[in-house]
Amino acid sequence: MLNEKLSEEKVFKDPVHRYIHVRDKLIWDLIGTKEFQRLRRIRQLGTTYLTFHGAEHSRFNHSLGVYEIVRRIVDDVFNGRPEWDDEERLLCLCAALLHDLGHGPFSHSFEKVFHLDHEDFTQKIILGDTEVHAVLSKVDNSFPKKVAEVIAKTYEKKQVVSLISSQIDADRMDYLQRDAYYTGVSYGHFDMERILRVMRPREDQVVIKSSGMHAVEDYIMSRYQMYWQVYFHPVTRSAEVILTKILHRAKQLHHEFYSFKHNPIHFYSIFEDELTLEDYLKLDESIILYYFQAWLEETDPILSDLCRRFMNRQLFKFVEFNPNIQMMTLIELTTLFKKAGIDPEYYLVVDSSSDLPYDFYRPGEEEERLPIHLLMPNGDLKELSRQSEIVDAISGKRRTDHKLYFPLDLIEDLSTKRTAKKRILELLNIKK
Amino acid sequence: MLNEKLSEEKVFKDPVHRYIHVRDKLIWDLIGTKEFQRLRRIRQLGTTYLTFHGAEHSRFNHSLGVYEIVRRIVDDVFNGRPEWDDEERLLCLCAALLHDLGHGPFSHSFEKVFHLDHEDFTQKIILGDTEVHAVLSKVDNSFPKKVAEVIAKTYEKKQVVSLISSQIDADRMDYLQRDAYYTGVSYGHFDMERILRVMRPREDQVVIKSSGMHAVEDYIMSRYQMYWQVYFHPVTRSAEVILTKILHRAKQLHHEFYSFKHNPIHFYSIFEDELTLEDYLKLDESIILYYFQAWLEETDPILSDLCRRFMNRQLFKFVEFNPNIQMMTLIELTTLFKKAGIDPEYYLVVDSSSDLPYDFYRPGEEEERLPIHLLMPNGDLKELSRQSEIVDAISGKRRTDHKLYFPLDLIEDLSTKRTAKKRILELLNIKK
Amino acid sequence: MLNEKLSEEKVFKDPVHRYIHVRDKLIWDLIGTKEFQRLRRIRQLGTTYLTFHGAEHSRFNHSLGVYEIVRRIVDDVFNGRPEWDDEERLLCLCAALLHDLGHGPFSHSFEKVFHLDHEDFTQKIILGDTEVHAVLSKVDNSFPKKVAEVIAKTYEKKQVVSLISSQIDADRMDYLQRDAYYTGVSYGHFDMERILRVMRPREDQVVIKSSGMHAVEDYIMSRYQMYWQVYFHPVTRSAEVILTKILHRAKQLHHEFYSFKHNPIHFYSIFEDELTLEDYLKLDESIILYYFQAWLEETDPILSDLCRRFMNRQLFKFVEFNPNIQMMTLIELTTLFKKAGIDPEYYLVVDSSSDLPYDFYRPGEEEERLPIHLLMPNGDLKELSRQSEIVDAISGKRRTDHKLYFPLDLIEDLSTKRTAKKRILELLNIKK
Amino acid sequence: MLNEKLSEEKVFKDPVHRYIHVRDKLIWDLIGTKEFQRLRRIRQLGTTYLTFHGAEHSRFNHSLGVYEIVRRIVDDVFNGRPEWDDEERLLCLCAALLHDLGHGPFSHSFEKVFHLDHEDFTQKIILGDTEVHAVLSKVDNSFPKKVAEVIAKTYEKKQVVSLISSQIDADRMDYLQRDAYYTGVSYGHFDMERILRVMRPREDQVVIKSSGMHAVEDYIMSRYQMYWQVYFHPVTRSAEVILTKILHRAKQLHHEFYSFKHNPIHFYSIFEDELTLEDYLKLDESIILYYFQAWLEETDPILSDLCRRFMNRQLFKFVEFNPNIQMMTLIELTTLFKKAGIDPEYYLVVDSSSDLPYDFYRPGEEEERLPIHLLMPNGDLKELSRQSEIVDAISGKRRTDHKLYFPLDLIEDLSTKRTAKKRILELLNIKK
């Protein structure tokens, strides 16, 4: 199976990479599994489509893209290099294709509310009783475990790991370009063809020939702009806040023995912390949207209101919030909301976004990140920020933003509570 | 309300038109209605995403695009022309935005199985008790009716109608480009900017200055290629066939009092031919996918098998089929399928695709189509195919393709029915 | 030398193909020859830049592009196929790179006036005492001759020839895309990547797998549009007419022993029909423009006026002309021009453009053209126009346009010759 | 004339801005002048085409682009704003179109060798006895002077000036995009449409609404990358060095009464410091290339060798050079070159590139640069680097690179001077 090829190469038309090429029977079979096809029903960018209407693409889409980038690296660039062990080729391709397999619907909110981890589920799918596992096992019994290790970054050969997860990996290169393409923003462009051509495998990492430094700078800048312009867009975060609160509310109602008109059967095991892999795999975004639509008719006013907001895109408004100096304001607002009959637990939310655009190596720190190394003409390795002034300028500098979200419409409707309304608007700095 | 402007123009980032500009409060309010937001949950290209994985975009996406094209025509090109009545501007914009409002989930299959018509529903939504109706009524009481008439092509001023529905309208110009963008195919490109600049309103139609003829030729060719390369792609049709059969089966089971494990509550009124507007508006593609997933567990083997095929993309195979000379083959296959225990009603399907790339005027014929007229330098009008050799070459020529779909896997599994299997494969021209 | 590789692959950044890759030392050395570098001083599209200001690119540019397309075919697609002889690889690459080597400045006009043929010069450069010849001879003594034969289409192995010259060759695929890119027109796009992937070498030709037929249709349509929208653009033709007349005039003056203020030294041998290869290679477009600028100051009014028109883009106007029914008009105009003192030999010019977009095989005819063959799934070959309705519609249909060019400004200045002026304008159908 | 419109708008197809629109008769007439048409014979990027073969575009091309950007700003964005005086519209358009009018062939080298300044010539052309002057004077007598002042940055209304020359002006926005397009590099992209939409005229400058800050960041980064990846590319600089040395040599030979085979008539007045406007306008890049080709045959070995290098792209090689610590090396090399018979004045050249990517305001400093101001939601102005972390990181930081150029081939040919050769190669750090 390791080297079994399709009788004719299969291609997928892809708007980002033009074509995605599949020659290995193993890859073709993996794509055909139901666990992989399920990724078609999970959006790559969660609630972002409510801000950028073009961004409706799925994780299926992105997973093929990551696979194709790795395929180009291993087949066109690394092929035949002495430092590169040909046996690892298929391992890389499988890990690239499957790296997002465990994502659930609207992953980030879901994981936060229910204390789940999509990486755990990726491991479980690869190692459990699944079609994916069956296909991988055809190589040999130990193969699924190796693929799982590459994705978990515990695989011993680190150059394999770093193709999939590092500060310049195939995952990031695909999503920056793909998300830029689908949203239509002008960020996200960099010369990937050049970066691929200058990648070189070294003992424990993949390095970049120094002649490609400027393409890497461009990639780092693209990433920076995509994070702040797209991924952390405050309108997207508003939808995310509402989504989170819907899930919270439903869980709470379940524990309070609320009588649902439309029973959350698919959520029982998750509400009870008894989620099985089989249950998890049934969850996708159509299921979630099905429930949200059904819950529009629930009698609980908070649940139905939040669902209405999400389905019809009636989102929360926001103001900047500085936790260092505005905690008293938040406390006063909380009190005022309660007085006004707007439950602050669901309707007054601080949300924070934070990103570290690039970091050099800080051994021992939490979330240790492997730096990007340049391969100099004389064979030395130099860490990127030592060579690039631009990268140095932003290296290691974490940027964090906080915003306070609230339903402006509800506040404006507080006609019988003039004083509270006036004070709330004052504290939120909203001029009428 | 007619001329009420937003205090600040709103823009949507759009990958096809770069930006979509909204200045009119009416348009902004229409976009915010729940009936319009519902279009986010209906894909523009139905099952095409199972062939072209990039094509996951919604009708919401496309509707904004059509609006933007019309906006550019009326604000940048027609603005100030004596033949153009400024009062019709908003009517055009609304009709453009709302023209697809009545589409249901996987429209074509749905309409076919349940004898529905999305155009009827568009009318009902605009004229019924909806948020869209409420917003349109703010202009005046007769305004919703006018918008409905433009979409129904019955509005008296034909130049308004032809911007939205003609052989070169904003609808087609958007979807050709948008579908090409999302699928990633290289067809679908033409010089829209040029076409827009040479459009001119005339009494009862919109004409094209003859200097823009070549851009129009290119558009006609793009349309031709998109139909045959994308819209009629046989793999997409295969998914469509399965989808249709699932709906058929569920309806039939309902009428046979089959006891569903998962009751098709959302389908009751449609199965009983008692569909209300309210019920219709609850139907979207997440609902459909929810049921398909649930039905995987039904005991009816046909329903669960077809759902499995759709959800996990295990589609039917196909061969070319010529109804003129292969009817006897089809009859024999039907008999053989029955003998083999494969129900031919669900598993042996002829599907036909047919397109007329462009047509000149054939008065009195069914589906009368308005031809494209060129405005010559001397002020005369000439029908396009009289001026363009290329368009003339394909004008009025209908092309039709038929294919026969079947589950090759089931046939190959007929181990105990060797003779039937052999003969079936022979008739289907499949070499083992 | 045949297989000598560069120690490190060289790349050129190319806007059309992204990168052009050179691994063979032979190719690198050919690019460095002075005869090849000379192509930087000859524009790809002659006078087109006076209509499409973006089209200032050189034949150097295009030649690298043709080389790259052939390289991708032979290295990525044909590599390893049994029908493909690896020894021919380098021959193809050299022929692709050098196929335009003999072009002179503003080739078409130049060849027409002086009865030259750039293909002859390509042969002479490859076979003569040149740097190109010296480099090619390093492979072996017979190699230059073989390269020359491929370009001359006399090489025995026709599949090699057809990569460079056929109805779907690397030359055309490059120039359609490149000229579209530089002019900025929206025609000229087709899915070359797909066409390359479905090309297959057969005994005496290169055929296209039938699954790629639509990409080929698109290419044929691109070609059609580029010819009529760009290459035959009447404003470009106007500049071409003037250019031709300048060269005519200078030659005539030379033969009449006119005393040039600025002696046309570079033209002596060409005027006297004694052009040597060495003289020819000195001619490039800077030389031509140098003389045109110098001749602005000549006392011959026709030469200086025509040069002024060319340099400052004061071109001739044109009207449609039908030689079948307007010959008498032309004769009358000729007489009137003479009377008015405007020399009709230089100022009244009929120019014809003619193209045959695609042709099937017509054995024995002049300009026999090899048709495009599709390779059907069953291994048969079918001629393209038998399979494609669109290609069939335009196949074998020659389109010819005639225009009459004249200096409207001179005619309008005929203030003392009112009657002649009035009649001329009348015959030219120009309304004042 | 001020408001005279063409009877029909003229458009130019442009690959960067799609279309360039001309409605004003004045602009149309300016484009038709011989001084403006001359810009077709001067490349936008000088010798860059020897590195990036696609970059063969002219200043004509770029000038139309700058005009179009300004036209969009004044017609689409500023039109109707109270802060914007409609009378200045045409002034802006003319200044944009004509800002590069005075450029000579291979401007930078030319100016450096002959101590000329293209800005002076722009002034002289606009104010002198030229077709451009005649056209501008049709508005009124003072109009040419005003246009000249805008270009010279002395015009009193600074918001007009800053559209054409500031740290974010139409000139830079066009050339970054255009040069990226023609070279094919992936830098140079930013969201110009967004920047244009957020530009606002203020008393003495044009400011940017803060919501557009990220698009401006992207623009600054594009500029940074274009400078170091394209404009300062060391191979381009090598050609520039040779070009400069050719001009130096010819001038020196002239002053030494060297007897040219091919007399540099066009250079006499420039060699003698008696250059007139009329002489200057005759100089374009075809003239220069004509002489370089002619001088290939001169007996002076330095002149003919340098011309050969330039024409056939046999450029100098280079190594990094640090003037702070390598001056002794340079002195030793100079001595060695002399000994070896290679004239160091022409064959050993230090070339420096230096750029300041963005600067805040430093009053009183040489080359004072106007900073970019953001218009905050509350109406305040903030200097860009105070709001943008990325811009702050590179603001005010000048980067300078030095390289040492030399003819490696000549050094390697020093077969009879083994010791000198060995030491030279050692000092240049070149391993054999």
Q: What are the tens digits of pLDDT across the range A325-334? A: 999 999 999 9
Is B53 among the domain residues? Answer: yes
Average pLDDT, chain C: 93
What is the residue whose two structure tokens read 């590069």? D100
Residue A54 in contact with partner chain B when CB distance is under 8 A: yes
Residue A225 maps to which CATH number? 1.10.3210.10
Q: Are residues B109 and B84 in the same domain?
A: yes
Q: Give the chains touching C; criterion: ≥3 Cβ pairs < 8 Å.
A: A, B, D
Nearest-neighbour CA in chain D from B430: distance (Å): 48
Q: Are residues A242 and A93 in the same domain?
A: no
- What is the per-residue pLDDT for C81? 79
- What is the per-residue pLDDT for C161? 93
For D192, name the nearest residue in chain B, comparing CA atoms only.
B18
Of B231, B256, B280, the one marking the end of a domain is B231
Write the CA distances from D257 to C20, D263, D266, D343, integer angstroms.
Answer: 47, 11, 16, 20
Is C252 among the domain residues? Answer: no
Instruction: Give contacts of C 305-324 with A, CB under 8 A.
Output: none
Nearest-neighbour CA in chain A from B379: distance (Å): 41
Residue A255 in contact with partner chain D when CB distance is under 8 A: no
Sign of the torsion formed by the C-alpha atoms of A156, A158, A160 and A166: positive
- What is the per-residue pLDDT for A8? 86
Residue D99 near residue D151, CB atoms below 8 Å: yes
Q: Are residues B128 and B272 in the same domain?
A: no
Q: Kindly provide the b/e burial profile for residues A110-145, where b requires at least 16 CB atoms within 10 angstroms of the residue's own CB.
A: bbebbebebbebbbbbbbbebbbbebbeebeeebbe
Residue C61 in contact with partner chain D when CB distance is under 8 A: yes
Residue A378 in contact with partner chain D when CB distance is under 8 A: no
Nearest neighbour of A394 by CB, restricted to D186, D229, D393: D393
Is D364 among the domain residues? Answer: no
Determine whether the interchain pair A53/B32 forms a contact, defined as Cβ–Cβ distance below 8 Å: no
Write the CA distances from B28 to B1, B6, B22, B66, B183, integer angstroms.
Answer: 12, 8, 7, 15, 29
- What is the per-residue pLDDT for D344? 98
Is B363 among the domain residues? Answer: no
CB contacts < 8 Å between A and D, how many? 49
Q: Are residues D186 and D311 in the same domain?
A: no
Q: Give the chains touching A; criterion: ≥3 Cβ pairs < 8 Å.
A: B, C, D
Q: In a mutagenesis test of the C interface, which of D33, D174, D293 is the best target, namely the one with the most C β-carbons within 10 Å?
A: D293
Determine whether the interchain pair D218/A393 forms a contact, defined as Cβ–Cβ distance below 8 Å: no
- What is the per-residue pLDDT for A348? 98
Residue C1 CA to residue C24 CA, distance in Å, equals 9
- pLDDT band at residue C83 under the 50/70/90 scheme: confident
Nearest-neighbour CA in chain D from C353: distance (Å): 22
pLDDT higher than 90, residue C365? no
Is A432 among the domain residues? Answer: no
Instruction: Give contacts of D 166-225 with A, CB under 8 A.
Output: 185-187, 189-191, 194, 214-215, 217-218, 221, 224-225
Q: Are residues B322 and B265 in the same domain?
A: no
- What is the per-residue pLDDT for C432? 59
Tell me which chain C residues have a C-beta less than 8 angstroms from the C-beta of B189: 186, 189
pLDDT higher than 70, residue A373? yes
Q: Are residues B293 and B162 in the same domain?
A: no
Residue C220 CA to residue B183 CA, distance in Å, equals 22
- What is the per-residue pLDDT for B361? 65
- What is the per-residue pLDDT for A399? 85
- pLDDT band at residue C249 under the 50/70/90 scheme: very high
Span C78-91, average pLDDT: 81
Q: Are residues D168 and D307 in the same domain?
A: no
- What is the per-residue pLDDT for A285? 97
Residue D251 maps to which CATH number? 1.20.1250.30
- What is the per-residue pLDDT for B41? 97
Residue A286 in contact with partner chain B when CB distance is under 8 A: yes
Q: Are residues D223 and D239 in the same domain?
A: no
Which residues contact residue D341 at a Cβ distance below 8 angstroms, ignoring those fewer than 6 apart?
none
Residue B81 CA to residue B90 CA, distance in Å, equals 16
Is D359 among the domain residues? Answer: no
Q: What are the tens digits of pLDDT across the range C136-152? A: 999 999 999 999 999 99
pLDDT higher than 70, residue A362? no
- What is the per-residue pLDDT for C394? 83
Residue D228 in contact with partner chain A when CB distance is under 8 A: yes
Q: Kindly provide the b/e burial profile for residues B337-375, where b requires at least 16 CB atoms within 10 angstroms of the residue's own CB.
A: beebebebebbbbebebebbbbbbeeeeeeeeebbbbbb
- What is the per-residue pLDDT for B78? 87
Three-state SS at B401: strand
Q: If you compute the radius of gyration of chain D from its CA atoms, what whole number of angstroms results?
A: 24
Nearest neighbour of B214 by CB, restricted to C190, C194, C229: C229
Nearest neighbour of C193 by CB, restricted to A18, A193, A197: A18
Determine whether the interchain pair D191/A214 forms a contact, defined as Cβ–Cβ distance below 8 Å: no
Q: Containing domain of residue B102, as a range?
A: 5-231
Tell me which chain C residues have a C-beta less than 8 angstroms from the C-beta of B356: none
Of D214, D231, D248, the one marking the end of a domain is D231
List, as own/partner pairs, every contact residues C249-256 make where C-beta atoms lie below 8 angstroms and the sequence separation is at least 24, other chains included.
C249/C300, C249/C302, C249/C303, C249/C306, C249/C346, C250/C291, C250/C295, C250/C303, C251/C113, C251/C114, C253/C300, C253/C303
- What is the per-residue pLDDT for D313? 97
Determine whether the interchain pair A57/B54 forms a contact, defined as Cβ–Cβ distance below 8 Å: yes
- What is the per-residue pLDDT for A396? 84
Residue D377 in contact with partner chain B when CB distance is under 8 A: no
Q: What are the tens digits of pLDDT across the range B257-294? A: 999 999 999 999 999 999 999 999 999 999 999 999 99
Q: Give the chains touching B; criterion: ≥3 Cβ pairs < 8 Å.
A: A, C, D
Tell me which chain C residues have a C-beta less than 8 angstroms from the C-beta of A18: 193
Q: In a mutagenesis test of the C interface, which of D10, D36, D56 is the best target, namely the one with the most C β-carbons within 10 Å?
A: D56
pLDDT higher than 90, residue A87? no
Instruction: State the first-to-last Cα distance of chain D, in angstroms, to the nearest integer.
Output: 69
Determine whether the interchain pair A13/B49 forms a contact, defined as Cβ–Cβ distance below 8 Å: no
Q: Are residues B216 and B251 in the same domain?
A: no
Q: In a mutagenesis test of the A interface, which of B20, B50, B56 is the best target, namely the one with the most A β-carbons within 10 Å?
A: B56
Q: What's the DSSP call for residue C77?
A: I
Nearest-neighbour CA in chain D from B19: distance (Å): 9
Tell me which chain B residues have a C-beta less than 8 angstroms from the C-beta of C186: 189-191, 194, 215, 218
What is the residue whose two structure tokens read 């230096």? D354
Of B267, B282, B307, the one marking the end of a domain is B307
pLDDT higher than 90, residue A74? yes
Q: Give the chains touching D; criterion: ≥3 Cβ pairs < 8 Å.
A: A, B, C
Residue A289 in contact with partner chain B when CB distance is under 8 A: yes
Q: Are residues B28 and B157 in the same domain?
A: yes
Q: What are the tens digits of pLDDT across the range A282-307? A: 999 999 999 999 999 999 999 999 99
Low-confidence stretches of chain D (pLDDT < 50) are none
Nearest neighbour of A218 by CB, restricted to D190, D194, D225: D225
Residue D397 CA to residue C66 CA, distance in Å, equals 44
Percent of chain C with pLDDT over 70: 97
pLDDT higher than 60, residue B366? no
Residue B343 near residue B300, CB atoms below 8 Å: no
Three-state SS at B225: helix
Is C417 among the domain residues? Answer: no
Is B331 among the domain residues? Answer: yes
Which residues contact residue A246 at a Cβ distance below 8 angstroms, ignoring those fewer than 6 apart?
A292, A295, A303, A306, A307, A310
Tell me which chain D residues have a C-beta less than 8 angstroms from the C-beta of B18: 193
- What is the per-residue pLDDT for B120? 95
- What is the per-residue pLDDT for A202? 86
Nearest-neighbour CA in chain D from C37: distance (Å): 6
Q: Are residues B138 and B286 in the same domain?
A: no
Three-state SS at A356: coil
Count of domains for chain A = 2
pLDDT higher than 90, residue B61? yes
Sign of the torsion formed by the C-alpha atoms of B176, B179, B182 and B188: negative
DSSP string, A212-276: GHHHHHHHHHHHHHHIIIIIT-HHHHHHHHHHHHHHHHHHHHHHTT---SS--GGGHHHHTT---
Nearest neighbour of C53 by CB, restricted to D41, D64, D311: D64
Between D294 and A77, residue with greater pLDDT: D294
Tell me which chain B residues have a C-beta less than 8 angstroms from the C-beta of A16: 184
Determine whether the interchain pair D284/C282 forms a contact, defined as Cβ–Cβ distance below 8 Å: no
Residue B409 in contact with partner chain A when CB distance is under 8 A: no
Tokens encoding A288? 């979630």
Please name the residue ranges forming H helices in B262-417.
268-271, 277-282, 285-295, 301-311, 327-340, 344-347, 384-387, 389-394, 408-412
Strands of A381-383's sheet in order across:
A199-202, A205-209, A373-375, A381-383
For D12, name the nearest residue in chain B, comparing CA atoms only.
B194
pLDDT higher than 70, residue A361? no
Q: Are residues B264 and B199 in the same domain?
A: no
